[in-house]
Amino acid sequence: MADNKDSMMPRGPRAQWQAMIWSFQGLRAAWLVESSFRTEVVMFLVLAPLGWYLGQTPVEQVLLIGSPMLVMAAELLNSAIEALIDRYGPEQHELAGRAKDMGSAAVFVLLVNMAMCWALIVGPQLLAV
């Protein structure tokens, strides 16, 4: 929920706590209804420890671990777009289809980014063996 427009004060602890609860509700909803999100979480659970181990510098570790996290974030946004469009009905509309396709494309672009990060960082290590 957006902050109150009349207040420039930072959120208090109670509001921060509520925002965290809403975030966990969103993660739970995505886990329960989005098979792509579940797949990406499993992929992250496999790749994160490998990224921690195979990254030779902190920057490499951040790239190897962060790239699958970006994929999950894009999947959450894509799922939110799809849910919002589906909320307004099943009829086909060019703009609704375009929005869904663009959300899917965002996930795809970040999957390609992740593959490139892993190939460029881990690939030379595997070829040197």
Contacts of 52 (CB under 8 A, 6+ apart): 61, 64, 65
Catalytic site positions: 75
Own/partner contacts of 81-89, CB < 8 Å, gap of 24 or more, are none
The string of DSSP letters for 85-117 reads HHHT-S---HHHHHHHHHHHHHHHHHHHHHHHH
